[in-house]
Amino acid sequence: MPQIVVEQLVKTYQVAERTPGLWGAVRGVVRRRHRTVRALDGVSFAIERGELVGYIGPNGAGKSTTVKALSGILVPDGGRCEVAGRVPWLQRVAHVAEIGVVFGQRTQLWWDLPVIESFELLRDIYRVPPARYARSRDRMIGLLDLAPLLDVPVRQLSLGQRMRCDLAAALLHAPAILFLDEPTIGLDAVSKLAVRDFIKQLNRDEGVTVILTTHDLDDIEALCTRVMVIAHGKILSDGALEELRARVTRERWLTVDLVDPGVAIDDPEAAEIRRDGHRVCLAFDPQVVAPAELIRRITSRHAVRDLFVENPPIETIVARLYAAHGAAGDTGAGAP
Amino acid sequence: MTGGALRPYRAIISARFRMLLQYRAAAIAGLWTQLVFGLALIMIYQALYRSSPAAVQPMAFAQLASYVWLGQALLAMLPWNVDAEVRDMVRSGAIAYELARPVDLYGLWYARAVAQRTAPTVLRAAPMVVFAGFVLPLLGAADWQLAPPPSLAAGAGFVAALAAALALSCAISVLVNISLMWTLGSDGVVVLFTTTVALLSGLMIPLPLFPGWAQGALGWLPFAGVFDLPFRIYAGHLAAGDLAIVLARQLGWTVALIALGRWLLGRGMRRVVVQGG
């Protein structure tokens, strides 16, 4: 039986709408109009023990709502959800004792306390026995290189340092499941790599199930064997990253820095999608034309300073996924 | 297993307590303000007492002086402000973490309130007592001083009533903090509440000085239990024999307000979690 089962989960919010202007504000005091937003509109999936699943989608798609429902913080309006045999919001205390949560934009550490004191506080809050605490603390300190940070008050940490400490804080009680909500947001390249390495290692060595929401497709590519895409409260795609790409588009982008900015690149198998001074971005299908062949053709015809090939960013993939599902507008966001 | 069921709450109290002890500058500033306030109040009441016959005064001037000084010394115990940490959590959405902890949420917030009400009080009370109880008589202003309780029973009764006052004050403090979930940290409600508490607890005007028609209502409101009732036991204005009824009122309110807080916190959490979908 899967560790996490979600079936037809529904959550709607009432959002107060204000009419703009002074008269609107005055009317708003007396009577507010409400709009219903379906943050989750029949979400279903199952996750096995030890999986590392990426969960992506644009802002407001329902990612955080799902994570909050799974972590017992939020009560959905309908559907079924079981994590390790428990309904998170009904058995909240027992449930949260066995999960770890990191919300990337917020810290769970105590702002004014040195890091180590936050850890000790969490040890007491989670009632971790001293010997077990000492073991997992030392392990985290080693894996995340925290030794120089332990006596620093949290408010003095850089974002990258804080995120490493937050990860450790979420794992001191050795949870079987870890929910990470945008753990790499705002981090510099070095910190991102450190966080990714750690997550990977944790999943591989300890079999911790990880659910990771992110806007950074590189996180997904580096970590996840499986990616779920949500938009307008519905799961649009669930499978390996390559499957998702293949389903949505085979397109790849070639960015070329030309010596002469005025030149047009006319290639029947590459479409210009953007031009910014010397820089031209072309889209092509690698199954129609091999990247090496395309590069050879272009460099033989034009003076090129630099070039690189990349996958279209997550925004593009997801935007096309909407289009493919006929949800390009805002139709799924709920009727007034 | 180590630690009892109370381990998380004890840990929170102790951590918050230590954090709040760091605010020494605020304590010194507060101390000065309260010193001036105390002296001003006492001078005003002295003028008032001198202008009317002693027979009609509802409490002796010496009792009143002690009452005023206790109020100034224990000001931080009054549930008059919000917990800055809770306010920041509500604003930033970090409050979601509170629900991700394997503890009873109300218990967690009550533990916070205990630290919030004791740490600053510890910092401020001792110097105020030294000033009002020992320095003032040395300066020749013995009639303005914080006098010792008239009897051992009054002193012991005060300690018991003060402990109950702390329990009650924390229950009210949690309610004030919960209100942040509806006001999202705006200060309007808090300012309104601060004034109400300052007036109805006896901080600004000792409750026995209120007109007779107001006495009944004031005595039965929860705020009297925080300052007025323990202070009157201390000053001997209430007999030590009245302690039982004072404690019953304080603890009755504490239980009722804890029940109310639990209910509101459950509703408030559902609201706040929506922030930042």
Cβ contacts below 8 Å, chain A against chain B, sum to 83
User: What pLDDT is recorded for position A58?
Assistant: 79
Q: In which band, very low, low, confident or very high, does the pLDDT at A327 lie, cut at 50, 70 and 90?
A: low
Instruction: Indicate whether A90 pLDDT > 60.
Output: yes
Distant-in-sequence, close-in-space partners of A108: CB < 8 Å, separation ≥ 6: A101, A102, A122, A166, A169, A170, B94, B97, B100
The complex's ipTM?
0.80
CATH architecture of A4-246: 3-Layer(aba) Sandwich (3.40)
| Cβ B80 vs Cβ B193: under 8 Å | yes
User: What pLDDT is recorded for position B184?
Assistant: 66
Q: Does the CA dihedral B214-B215-B220-B224 come out positive or negative?
A: positive
* Contact residues, chain A, for B10 at CB < 8 Å: 124
pTM for the model: 0.81
Angle, helix A314-324 to helix A241-248, in steps of 10 degrees: 60
Which residue does chain B place closest to A102, by CA atoms? B97
Task: Tell me, yes or no, if B104 comes closer than 8 A to chain A by beta carbon.
Answer: yes
User: What pLDDT is recorded for position A333?
Assistant: 37
Question: Any idea which residue has 């909240």 for tokens?
Answer: A92
- Residues B130-139 pLDDT 10s: 999 999 999 9
Q: In which band, very low, low, confident or very high, does the pLDDT at A326 lie, cut at 50, 70 and 90?
A: low
> How far is the C-alpha of B229 from the C-alpha of B211, rounded, in Å?
17
- Residues B14-35 pLDDT 10s: 988 888 887 788 888 888 999 9
Q: In which band, very low, low, confident or very high, does the pLDDT at A23 lie, cut at 50, 70 and 90?
A: confident
| Cβ A161 vs Cβ A149: under 8 Å | yes
- Greater confidence (B147 vs B25) lies with B147
Name the residue facing B273 among A74, A127, A130 (closest C-beta). Answer: A74
Task: Tell me, yes or no, if B12 comes closer than 8 A to chain A by beta carbon.
Answer: yes
DSSP-based helix, strand, coil % in chain A, nearest 5? 35, 30, 35
Percent of chain B surpassing pLDDT 90: 59
Q: Which residues of chain A from 35 to 74 reach within 8 Å of chain B, CB to CB?
A: 39, 60, 62, 64-65, 68, 71-74
Between the CA of residue B137 and those of B143, B144, B146, B234, what are the distances in Å? 8, 8, 9, 19
User: What pLDDT is recorded for position B1?
Assistant: 42
AA letter at B57: Q
> How far is the C-alpha of A129 from the C-alpha of A147, rounded, in Å?
22
- Residues A262-298 pLDDT 10s: 788 888 899 998 888 889 999 999 889 999 999 999 9
- Residues B74-104 pLDDT 10s: 999 999 888 888 888 888 777 888 888 999 9
Compute the average pLDDT of residues B249-271.
91
Q: Which residues of chain A from 137 to 166 reach within 8 Å of chain B, CB to CB?
A: none
Compute the average pLDDT of residues B207-218.
90
Cα angle A63-A232-B101, degrees, rounded to a multiple of 5: 25
State the average pLDDT for chain A.
87
Instruction: Indicate whether B234 pLDDT > 60.
Output: yes
Name the residue facing A121 among B15, B22, B102 (closest C-beta). Answer: B15
